Amino acid sequence: MNQKIFQKALQIISMRRIKAKTENEQHYQEINSKIPEIAEINYQLAQTSARILMGEDIEILKRQNLQAQRYCSQLLENHGYPPDYLDMHYTCPKCQDTGYQGNTYCSCLEKLIASLGTAEMTQQTQLKLCNFDQFNLEYYQGRTTDDGRNCYTLMSNILQRCRYYAANFHAHSPSLLFFGDVGVGKTHLSLSIVTEVLKQGYEVIYDSIGNLISRIEQEHFSREKSQEDTLQILLNTDFLILDDLGTEFQTQFNLSVIYTIINTRINRNLPTIISTNLNWKQLSDQYEERIMSRLFAVYESLEFRGPDIRLAKKRNSQYL
């Protein structure tokens, strides 16, 4: 992920932190002027560390402070305020809008990077998002596959399945594997699903496996380890679409990244769509057993089939 997106995400998070702090200050000002009794208690609470330094018993002070805080909440309620009106209200209570939990990125930062990344990716690739209505089934009318099945029926079933999937998408939707030659509609239907899922407010990452892996590789072997976040984003994003499995370089590093992505997302029960131009046999030849067994056991396969091109070619060649 590029440094610009990372910086922008951190900037947004720090704005959230500033907003939380500012609001909190305003609440204090308001309450101090309206309920002087609370102002007095808050003043006493603020003296705690000084009193500890003066040698007062910490346990007793703690108990007194807790009582004072409860009393404050009660007073707030009596005056028609929510009892936590003077607490800090962070957008992300987990990291208190810092973006970090200890040494690791908080999920809010990862999500932000992912959504900014998607927005930028979409811009960069000029990705025209498709919709289901533009999917033209007429193309398949009267055609048969190489094993004699009706293309129209096959593809209208797939279209129906994809529409249903998109309309009923949820955080733990099943993962899908799209098989099929180039040009049989895999990209069109995955982008139509993406369009629907984005409308529902989920974060989506869509890219070819080759692009993503080269970015991960770059980050992995660069010296600046702080940049190493693409893999984390892919492991955590709400919805991941990996295009063109099988077109990437077959190295041990790449295989292990692919396994990590597939396996981790399965373990986290996060939906993924993988598309490939290879058939099941070719995939098995190319990928190790641990990848294939995960795909086979967990992914729902959709086989996109167009008219038999070889047959058409053969027929044509008879007239040449």
The contact set with Zn ion (CB under 5 A) reads 92, 94-95, 106, 108
- Shortest gap between Cβ of 224 and Zn ion (angstroms)? 22
End-to-end C-alpha distance for the chain, whole angstroms: 52
Token pair for 229: 């976040």
Given a contact cutoff of 8 angstroms between Cβ atoms, the answer to whether 174 and 164 are in contact is no
- Shortest gap between Cβ of 235 and Zn ion (angstroms)? 17
- Shortest gap between Cβ of 97 and Zn ion (angstroms)? 7
Of 92 and 204, nearer to Zn ion (C-beta) is: 92
Amino acid at residue number 185: G
Given a contact cutoff of 8 angstroms between Cβ atoms, the answer to whether 224 and 232 are in contact is no
Given a contact cutoff of 8 angstroms between Cβ atoms, the answer to whether 8 and 116 are in contact is yes
Residue 7 phi, psi dihedral angles, 5° rounding: -60, -40
Distance CA 311, CA 317 (A): 10
What is the enclosing helix (H) or strand (E) of 106?
Answer: none
- Shortest gap between Cβ of 11 and Zn ion (angstroms)? 15
Of 12 and 298, nearer to Zn ion (C-beta) is: 12
For residue 181, what are the CA distances in angstroms to 45, 145, 195? 70, 12, 23
Of 92 and 231, nearer to Zn ion (C-beta) is: 92
- Shortest gap between Cβ of 83 and Zn ion (angstroms)? 24
Query: What's the CA angle centered on 57, arms 51 and 62, to 5 degrees?
Result: 80
Of 106 and 261, nearer to Zn ion (C-beta) is: 106
**At which residue do the structure tokens 């131009």 appear?**
277
Of 99 and 306, nearer to Zn ion (C-beta) is: 99
Distance CA 222, CA 259 (A): 22
Token pair for 131: 């919709």
Given a contact cutoff of 8 angstroms between Cβ atoms, the answer to whether 90 and 97 are in contact is yes
For residue 114, what are the CA distances in angstroms to 56, 110, 233? 50, 6, 6
- Shortest gap between Cβ of 94 and Zn ion (angstroms)? 5
Of 14 and 267, nearer to Zn ion (C-beta) is: 14
Of 62 and 94, nearer to Zn ion (C-beta) is: 94
Distance CA 190, CA 273 (A): 8
- Shortest gap between Cβ of 5 and Zn ion (angstroms)? 17
Token pair for 222: 């660069």
- Shortest gap between Cβ of 104 and Zn ion (angstroms)? 11
Of 175 and 237, nearer to Zn ion (C-beta) is: 237
